[in-house]
Amino acid sequence: MSGLTIEELQIVLIREAPVHKRLQAVSFLVRATRRLIWQALCLRYPEEAEEARIERFFTLLYGDLALARNAIRAANRKSSTT
């Protein structure tokens, strides 16, 4: 593996990693990205009501207000049954 750049070495290591390790990495990155999006929205819109911020967050995730509202309703139903 000599002569590889750091980026090339990282790609080799990722390709050689077991599938469950790659899925763990993806899951971590998704959670971190969502957390950073939420933090950015809180900083950008500090006066906005939490419900409006949640709608904005889901709209960013799903790219469509109607899909965002459906996801929010589904999340609310799930949280009320658990």
CA distance 41 to 39: 5
Domain ranges of the chain: 1-44, 48-82
pLDDT digits (tens, 9 = 90+) for 41-71: 999 999 999 999 999 999 999 999 999 999 9
pLDDT score recorded for residue 1:
56
Sequence-distant (6+) residues with CB within 8 A of 59 are 65, 68
Q: Does the reported pTM lie above 0.85?
A: no
